[in-house]
Amino acid sequence: MRASLIGIVFLLFSQPVWSAAKIEHWQTAQGSRVYYVHTEGLPMVDIQVSFDAGSARDGSQFGIAALTSALLDTGAGEWNADEIAKRFESVGANVGAGISDDMAWVSLRTLTDKKLFDKALETLQVMLAKPTFNEADFQREKNRTLAGLKQREESPAELAHIAFSNAVYGDHPYAHPSDGVIETVAGFSANDLREFYKKYYVAANAMVVIVGDLSKEQAEKTAQSLVAELPAGQKPEPLPEVAMPIKASQRHIDFPSSQTHVLVGMPGTYRKDPDYFSLYVGNHILGGAVLVSRLFNEVREKRGLAYSASSSFVPMFRKGPFVASLQTRNDQTQKALEVLNKTLVDFINEGPTEAELTAAKKNITGGFAMRFDTNKELANYVSMIGFYELPLDYLNTFQQKVEQVTVASIKDAFKRHIDPQLLQTITLGGAPAKK
Amino acid sequence: MNNRLLFAILLCLPAFSSSAETKVSERILGNGLKVLVQEDHRSPVVVSQVWYKVGSSYEPGGITGLSHMLEHMMFKGTDKHPAGEFSRIIAENGGDENAFTGQDYTAYFQTMDKSRLDVSFELEADRMRNLHLLADELKKELQVVTEERRMRTDDKPRAKMQEYFMAMAHTNSPYRNPVIGWPADIANYTVEDLQAWYQRWYAPNNATLVVVGDVEPKAVFDLAEKYFGALKTSEIKPLKPQTEVEQIGVREMTIKLPAKLPYIVMGYKVPSLKTAEKEWEAYALEVLAGVLDGGNSARLASRLVRGKQIAVSAGAGYDLTSRLSDLFTLEATPAEGKTVWDLQSALKDEVVKLQNELVSDEELQRIKAQVLASDIYQRDSMFYQAMQLGMTETVGLGWPTVDEYVGKVNQVTAEQVRDVARKYLIKDHLNIAYLEPQEIKENKASPTIQGEHDAR
């Protein structure tokens, strides 16, 4: 009796304290969206400036978004790569730049002490607004990228993923690898990068995320200064819808590896999909949960067929992939693939049990706070919420949405999203998987 | 002069040390279990880790990788909780869990809501002494570990190269063996091997329990006493030292594997903080690694990747916290038209410069600013904080090392960096491996990674 009373009091107090990852949102004068969360406890801040300029914007120039991003810290304003690096590193700041299919971003983690912060911020601002893309830096980074693309051919895991994306997406902009391919990258000029930069790195297409120990006033000034010198520009047209595959396919690629990499999937779901939570919780049971999912149990725990066996939805602006995968000794590929397919099809047909659903909900809601218990993770969530324009209370309603999922809603959502007749299967390894 | 400049810089850095200072509480239970608690109240979360003083460097020949295999078997049930139940209970309580094995440790962790710490303690205490090692489970799990080895090592040319490289560089040190074990050893583990290993090392007096999070030390100590307090101790026999013999001349090897790019790894025998004659030497080596590879402005990126453009990537590595002496490594991938020999000579040039010239104040200050900043950044992660406490304690340095780190790095001088370069980065203690790519032909088996962390 007493214990449960204490429990209630605890809940009342503890919920708002930190579930108040209170996201504040505004627009700068130039039209860039800003998302800010004030966190305390450590004198540091994570800042991200993102653009709708990921590899889905490559057009036919596969890899141009990635290379443009890679050039940003190699020369800007009056500074060369050494000077830019020194400016950040002399104040202990970490800077990074990268892309996904949907997004290009530059991130900065810095201490908030004014002198250190100001120097890091000024450097970032110039990097974003005045990258030089000079010829020597361009050639060097292009050569480094080409070496990386060549090295990729050593990796059965990467090659299998590339083949899988191609099978799932056909000629959609999500099909090609984000880093590009040798044939396209080899043909780029520095001017191509400048063009890409000019079109996409503009205020109307920019978003700023600030999570850390800065006051709102400081955050406003910071966001403003980061985008102040970007031309207003405009947002690009939304990406095209993903076309569903017209039939199932299976392709084997020979590779001299000791394991065969098996990937099965199709276009899955997008960020604003009303079915998202049913798919997410369902997949948690099917193959998402670490060490306890159905796929993990069937493939690894019961049969010892693989070290890792899992499935995931990767929601993106358009339908990101659903993929179930494993790696296994070449000669047992067929057996492992059968187990994977049966587990998947059974799940689609029958859905989870009530007990599985209850366990999954307990895991997800019980571990909710751990999803963003670091500044970095929180910043990543805020960035996702901002970029995909999800409701600002996304985190605060997350647990409730999970609780609302039912066995029926999972079954229904899977039936409508994952059709066994449309699954794309890739096996890559040392022995062909016989049909 | 140098010193004053340095001081000026340090004074410029913010006065955060008081606000963010870590505070560790320690208690040793009657059975020898050491409990470390660090409070972090930013989220209602707790990280709990059990660290055992056993890892691949404890293993004699023939059973390499056994610590890692045992880590896998630790999820296979006890009297109270049959196979699979451990993970199911943790999951139902909202927890994240896993385990990892290194050269010097085996560790198990759960991240939970702070109200569930007792769930983690109950299960960990149970499997510390009551594990069931069953032949059927071992048979399946052996296959899993073999698949793990294929994935991490056998199908990755550079990882495979690393394995051969370590085996060449170390003559008698157990660091010559991979954490995941040699294939023939993995294939021949028996239940008896595992039982003996478990009996020998899994006991409260050979473990450290680390808890970081939104908790109060006294309550954690009481809870630890409740669940772990009654566990029996074991007699832990001291480990044979297996001190590496002196290397008496450079060693080189060529690795031929299906691959696309050549690659070079070089490693000098150096002491760790635990084995250094003088403590400052290890910190000076740490700073030296920062001079070469502490960011995009560091020498390897600035001079080899950008300046000379002979490498598409280059790096340096030093592990301050290894239990035994290990290697200071340099590695690089040649740019198109350059060779591993060009890289070898350029990397050696960088070593010679460190031996002949003092590193600049600017470089030293950069490193110190970075160290200070990362000390704050690391506190963003409870898991990382717990890792540091567990690791330093388990290798025998003691957790106060974590708190001393920033101060000790700050005391390193340019002369000391030069001195360790002269003393340790010497040719007779050098090991070099070259990856010579072979054509990637279909249907020819190949396979390797350094298993620093072979997570389950």
Average per-residue pLDDT in chain A? 94
Q: For residue A100, what pLDDT band results from cuts at 50, 70 and 90? A: very high
Question: Is B142 an 8 Å CB contact of chain A?
Answer: yes
Q: For residue A21, what pLDDT band results from cuts at 50, 70 and 90? A: confident
Decide if pLDDT at A3 tops 60: no
Strands B263-270 and B251-258: unpaired
Inter-chain CB proximity B12 and A115 less than 8 Å: yes
pLDDT digits (tens, 9 = 90+) for A277-320: 999 999 999 999 989 999 999 999 999 999 999 999 999 999 99
AA identity, residue B341: W
Distance CA B305, CA B312 (A): 6
Distance CA A21, CA A385 (A): 12
3-state SS string for A206-248: EEEEEEECCCHHHHHHHHHHHHCCCCCCCCCCCCCCCCCCCCC
> What is the predicted pLDDT for the residue at B441?
82
Return the half-sphere exposure (C-beta side, CA atoms, 13 A cut-off) of residue A341.
Answer: 19
Q: CA-nearest residue of chain A to B46?
A: A370
Q: How crowded is residue B301: how many other Cβ atoms within 10 Å of its Cβ?
A: 22
Which domains does chain B carry?
18-228 (3.30.830.10), 251-438 (3.30.830.10)
The strand pairing partners of A261, in sequence order, are A327, A428
**Furthest C-alpha separation in chain B:** 69
Distance CA A319, CA A307 (A): 28
Distance CA B315, CA B328 (A): 11
Q: CA-nearest residue of chain A to B375?
A: A92
> What is the predicted pLDDT for the residue at B9?
33
pLDDT digits (tens, 9 = 90+) for B302-341: 999 999 999 999 999 999 999 999 999 999 999 999 999 9
> What is the predicted pLDDT for the residue at B451?
33
Which domains does chain A carry?
23-227 (3.30.830.10), 249-429 (3.30.830.10)
Positions of chain B with pLDDT under 50: 1-20, 444-455
Decide if pLDDT at A222 tops 80: yes
Question: Is A231 an 8 Å CB contact of chain B?
Answer: no
CA angle A271, A276, A280 (to 5 degrees): 115
Inter-chain CB proximity B440 and A301 less than 8 Å: no
Which of B84, B296, B380 is closest, CB to CB, to A374?
B380
Which of A44, A90, A369 is closest, CB to CB, to B376?
A44
> What is the predicted pLDDT for the residue at A19?
52
Question: Is B309 an 8 Å CB contact of chain A?
Answer: yes
Which of B88, B143, B365 is closest, CB to CB, to A304?
B143
Are B153 and B451 within 8 A, CB to CB? yes
Question: Is A20 an 8 Å CB contact of chain B?
Answer: no
Inter-chain CB proximity B147 and A143 less than 8 Å: no
Return the half-sphere exposure (C-beta side, CA atoms, 13 A cut-off) of residue B341.
Answer: 1
Which of A147, A254, A304 is closest, CB to CB, to B443?
A254
Inter-chain CB proximity A111 and B19 less than 8 Å: no
Contacts A41 to B, Cβ<8 Å: 20, 41-42
Distance CA A178, CA A176 (A): 6
> What is the predicted pLDDT for the residue at B11?
33
Question: Is A92 an 8 Å CB contact of chain B?
Answer: yes
Residue with tokens 């038209």: B337
Q: Which of A7, A351, A432, A88 is nearest to B442 (CA)?
A: A432
Q: Which of A320, A155, A151 is nearest to B446 (CA)?
A: A155
Decide if pLDDT at A12 tops 50: no
The residues of B assigned a catalytic role are: 71
Inter-chain CB proximity A41 and B376 less than 8 Å: no
Residues 13-42 in B contacting A (C-alpha not used; CB under 8 Å): 13-14, 16, 19-20, 41-42
> What is the predicted pLDDT for the residue at B456?
54
Inter-chain CB proximity A327 and B151 less than 8 Å: yes
Inter-chain CB proximity B261 and A147 less than 8 Å: yes
Question: Is B243 an 8 Å CB contact of chain A?
Answer: no
SS3 content of chain B, % helix, strand, coil (to 5): 45, 20, 35
Q: What is the DSSP letter of A410?
A: H
Inter-chain CB proximity B44 and A42 less than 8 Å: no
- Pairs of CB atoms within 8 A across A/B: 242
Sign of CA dihedral B209, B213, B214, B218: positive
Distance CA A163, CA A427 (A): 9
pTM: 0.93
> What is the predicted pLDDT for the residue at A166?
98
> What is the predicted pLDDT for the residue at A259?
97
At A397, which helix (H) or strand (E)? Answer: helix A394-404
Inter-chain CB proximity B336 and A147 less than 8 Å: yes
**Radius of gyration, alpha carbons of chain B:** 23
Dihedral over alpha carbons A94, B389, B270, B67 (to 10 degrees):
-110
Are A46 and A221 within 8 A, CB to CB? no
Q: Which of A164, A103, A430 is nearest to B445 (CA)?
A: A430
Q: Which residues contact A259 (CB under 8 A, 6 or more apart)?
A: A156, A327, A328, A329, A330, A429, A430, B147, B150, B151, B154, B155
Contacts B361 to A, Cβ<8 Å: none
Question: Is A86 an 8 Å CB contact of chain B?
Answer: yes
SS3 call for A95: strand
Distance CA B310, CA A416 (A): 53
Alpha carbon A82 to chain centroid, angstroms? 30
Contacts A82 to B, Cβ<8 Å: 297, 302, 306
Q: Measure A246 CA to nearest chain B CA, in Å.
A: 31
List the B251-258 sheet strands across, edge first. Answer: B251-258, B430-438, B263-270, B326-334, B311-317
Q: Which of B316, B244, B249, B325 is nearest to B281 (CA)?
A: B325
Q: Per the structure block, which two tokens stand in for A398?
A: 């997350």
Q: CA-nearest residue of chain B to A293?
A: B88
Which of B14, B336, B446 is closest, CB to CB, to A257?
B446
Question: Is A140 an 8 Å CB contact of chain B?
Answer: yes
Q: Measure B277 CA to nearest chain A CA, in Å.
A: 31
Q: CA-nearest residue of chain A to B15?
A: A113
Distance CA B232, CA B205 (A): 9
> What is the predicted pLDDT for the residue at A290?
87
